[in-house]
Amino acid sequence: MTTGTFCPWQTININKLPAIMIKNEINPMSQAHSDFEDVKAPLLFTKDNSNESRQEIIDELKKVLTPYTEDKELLGGINEETNLITDLKINSANLVDIIIDAESKYNIEIDLDSAEKMTNVGSCIDVIVEKMNLKT
């Protein structure tokens, strides 16, 4: 078993890393920097935009969206066409929260022009992938 120091307060088992991180030889020795204590999620780095990686981002995105939608059952069945407001009934007042949480989760910065595109799950993934690719 190989272990690595993930951050000063957490150790991870590399064998249990998501496959996409291993496949793309991503350095897991990183941690999302968050100004907000409620978001402390390991980063999921990806260099590609394959269906597999997009599905992994959807799975992570569900966790971001969970606090802001009351219909958890609907959240379980989201796909790229799912609209955040009309389908998930997320109040528009929470849209900035979601952008901030996504920034923290993936250690990216989402500019205003990109943020306005994030109306459905697919466009959220597009923006996240685009910003993550800018880092690599």
Partner 1 sequence: MKSTGNDIVALQGINRQRTNHFRFYSKILSVPEQALYDREGFPEIPFEKFVWLLWSIKESVYKYLKRAKPGLVFSPTKIIIQQIDPPLLPNITSFTAIQWENNVNGSGENFYKGVIVAGSDIFYSRSKIHDELISTVVSADENFENTWWGIKSIDHNGYDNQSRAVRAFILDKLYSILPDGNDHLRIGKCPLGCPVVLKEAKEMNIPVSLAHHGYFVAYSFLLKHPLLQMNYKV
Part of the chain binding partner 1 (CB under 8 A), chosen from 6-14, 24-32, 44-52, 88-96: 88-96
CA distance 14 to 65: 27
Q: Is residue 17 a contact point for partner 1 (CB under 8 A)? A: no
- Name residue 11's beta-bridge partners: 5
Q: Is residue 36 a contact point for partner 1 (CB under 8 A)? A: yes
Closer residue to partner 1, CB minimum distance, 1 or 112: 112
The DSSP output letter for 38 is T
Q: Is residue 25 a contact point for partner 1 (CB under 8 A)? A: no
How far is residue 71 from each of residues 26, 32, 68, 96, measured CA to CA in Å? 34, 27, 9, 19
Q: Is residue 126 a contact point for partner 1 (CB under 8 A)? A: no
b/e burial code for range 49-86 (CB count within 10 A of at least 16 → b): eeeebbebbbebbeebbeebbeeeeebeebeeebebee
Q: Is residue 35 a contact point for partner 1 (CB under 8 A)? A: yes
Least CB distance to partner 1 at residue 65 (A): 14
CA distance 87 to 37: 28
Among 2, 51, 81, 93, binds partner 1 (CB under 8 A): 93
- Name residue 33's beta-bridge partners: none
Closer residue to partner 1, CB minimum distance, 21 or 84: 84
Least CB distance to partner 1 at residue 92 (A): 6
Q: Which residues bind partner 1 (CB under 8 A)?
A: 35-36, 70-71, 86, 89, 91-93, 95-97, 99-100, 103, 112, 115-117, 119
